[in-house]
């Protein structure tokens, strides 16, 4: 790998992209992009996808039944706890 | 100019609750259920403490505060309303069983999110769906690494992306990629938060997100080129 960021190959630049983009730095000013149309297009596409993602899958409320089911299941679990199964006696009772 | 790759607040988007005051934000957006009475102005810390002590009303309040985000996460991950309802129910039941073990090492909302993610991932594994290991993202493979992005520059995505096309492409991502993409790009979590939720490194989260976006680009370009064919 060369030490001059402007002389990186596309492979070298793209290896650095996750960290470059993830760090919050402005990747568009990277020297490699001054001379590489492909990597500029790649970065532009990734930017478009990240921006579009903000409009995806609007947040929604669960229906009221979900809480009703949760409450019912909690009640059942509590009842189960308060009525534990009777353990068999360690010593069998003498026969009458 | 804001960094387009950083999770910023978009209109109508729900931010991680620890970045806002969940009691305020949630009150504004939450619905009618449940509506516990007599607990008016308790702080989130008080509500949590009471729920940990077994107070059912407090647990109901916790549900109110977090139900929307947990349900939305489940729905985004599985894409099916009935399944998302079941997963939400299971996540809150697990919360009820485990809430006393929460020690405050992370924000409660992050802890709850992590719990819900585990419920979702367990369900996906049960269904035998493709889960990309988080470690895998750190080791680019010849057919999956960045090299595949050297292709023709004339096939770039231009202008706005069709929302439905992108949602379809997200739904078809392997679950590991989908999860990171949803957590970061859709829900707005930061890499350090995602790393904490998924028990992975921050670098791993960045790498996985990058791969998810590359896969989405590939899928959208393929769709575009199909549409352009006569």
Mutate to test the interface with A, among B1, B2, B3, B85 (most CBs of A within 10 A): B3
Inspect the interface and report whether the beta carbons of A14 and B182 lie closer than 8 Å: no
Beta-carbon contacts of A36 under 8 Å, excluding residues fewer than 6 positions away, are A10, A13
Q: Does the residue A21 lie in any domain?
A: yes
More confident residue, B147 or B99: B99
Q: Does the residue A60 lie in any domain?
A: yes
DSSP B153-198: GGG---SSPPHHHHHHHHHTS-HHHHHHHIIIIIT---HHHHHHHH
What is the pLDDT averaged over residues B84-97? 97
More confident residue, B128 or B165: B165
Inspect the interface and report whether the beta carbons of B12 and A59 lie closer than 8 Å: yes
Q: Which domain holds residue A13?
A: 1-83
pLDDT range class, residue B29, cuts 50, 70, 90: very low
The interface residues of chain A toward chain B in range 6-45, judged by CB-CB distance below 8 A, are 10-11, 14-15, 17-19, 21-24, 26-27, 37-38, 41-42, 44-45
pTM of the model: 0.76
Inspect the interface and report whether the beta carbons of A61 and B210 lie closer than 8 Å: no
Tens digit of each residue's pLDDT (9 = 90 or more) over B119-150: 998 888 887 755 554 444 334 444 444 344 55
User: Looking at beta carbons, which residues of chain A come within 8 Å of B59?
Assistant: 74
**How much is the mean pLDDT over chain B?**
77
Mutate to test the interface with B, among A8, A50, A76, A82 (most CBs of B within 10 A): A50
Domain count, chain A: 1
Residue B198 has pLDDT above 60, yes or no: yes
Q: Does the residue A94 lie in any domain?
A: no
Of A17, A55, A58, the CB nearest to B146: A17
Q: Does the residue A90 lie in any domain?
A: no
ipTM of the predicted structure?
0.75
Tens digit of each residue's pLDDT (9 = 90 or more) over B102-121: 998 788 999 999 999 999 98
Spatial separation of the C-alpha atoms in residues B216 and B167, rounded to whole Å? 10
Q: Which of A37-41, B3-7, B32-36, B224-228 has the lowest mean pLDDT?
A: B32-36
CB B52 within 8 A of CB B99: yes
Of A17, A18, A69, the CB nearest to B89: A69
Q: Does the residue A59 lie in any domain?
A: yes
Residue B93 has pLDDT above 50, yes or no: yes
Q: Does the residue A65 lie in any domain?
A: yes
pLDDT of the residue at B221:
86
Which residues in chain A land under pLDDT 70? Answer: 1-6, 82-96
Q: Does the residue A41 lie in any domain?
A: yes
A81, A52, A45, A70: which is closest to B13 by C-alpha? A52
More confident residue, B144 or B207: B207
């Amino acid at each position: 790998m060369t030490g001059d960021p402007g002389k990186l190959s596309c492979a070298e630049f793209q290896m650095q992209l996750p960290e470059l983009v993830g760090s919050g730095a402005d990747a568009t000013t990277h020297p490699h992009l001054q001379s590489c149309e492909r990597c500029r297009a790649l970065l532009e596409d990734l930017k478009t996808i990240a921006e579009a993602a903000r409009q995806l899958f609007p947040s929604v409320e669960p229906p009221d039944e979900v809480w009703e089911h949760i409450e019912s299941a909690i009640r059942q679990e509590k009842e189960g706890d308060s009525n534990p199964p009777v353990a068999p006696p360690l010593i069998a009772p003498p026969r009458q | 100019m804001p960094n387009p790759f950083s999770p910023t607040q978009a209109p109508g988007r729900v931010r991680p609750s620890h970045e806002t005051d969940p009691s305020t934000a949630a009150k504004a957006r939450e619905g009618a259920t449940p509506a516990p009475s007599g607990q008016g102005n308790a702080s989130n810390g008080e509500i949590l403490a009471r729920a940990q002590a077994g107070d059912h009303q407090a647990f109901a309040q916790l549900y109110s505060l977090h139900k929307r985000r947990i349900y939305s996460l489940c729905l985004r991950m599985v894409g099916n309303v009935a399944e998302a309802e079941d997963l939400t129910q299971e996540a809150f039941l697990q919360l009820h069983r485990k809430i006393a073990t929460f020690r405050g090492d992370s924000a409660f909302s992050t802890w709850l999110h992590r719990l819900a993610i585990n419920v979702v991932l367990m369900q996906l594994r049960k269904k035998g769906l493709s889960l990309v290991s988080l470690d895998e993202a750190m080791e680019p493979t010849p057919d999956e690494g960045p090299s595949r992005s050297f292709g023709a520059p004339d096939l770039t995505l231009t202008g706005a992306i069709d929302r439905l096309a992108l949602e379809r492409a997200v739904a078809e991502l392997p679950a590991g990629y989908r999860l990171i993409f949803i957590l970061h790009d859709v829900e707005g979590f930061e890499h350090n938060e995602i790393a904490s939720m998924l028990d992975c490194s921050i670098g791993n989260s960045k790498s996985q997100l990058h791969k998810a976006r590359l896969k989405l680009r590939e899928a959208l370009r393929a769709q575009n080129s199909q549409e352009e064919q006569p």
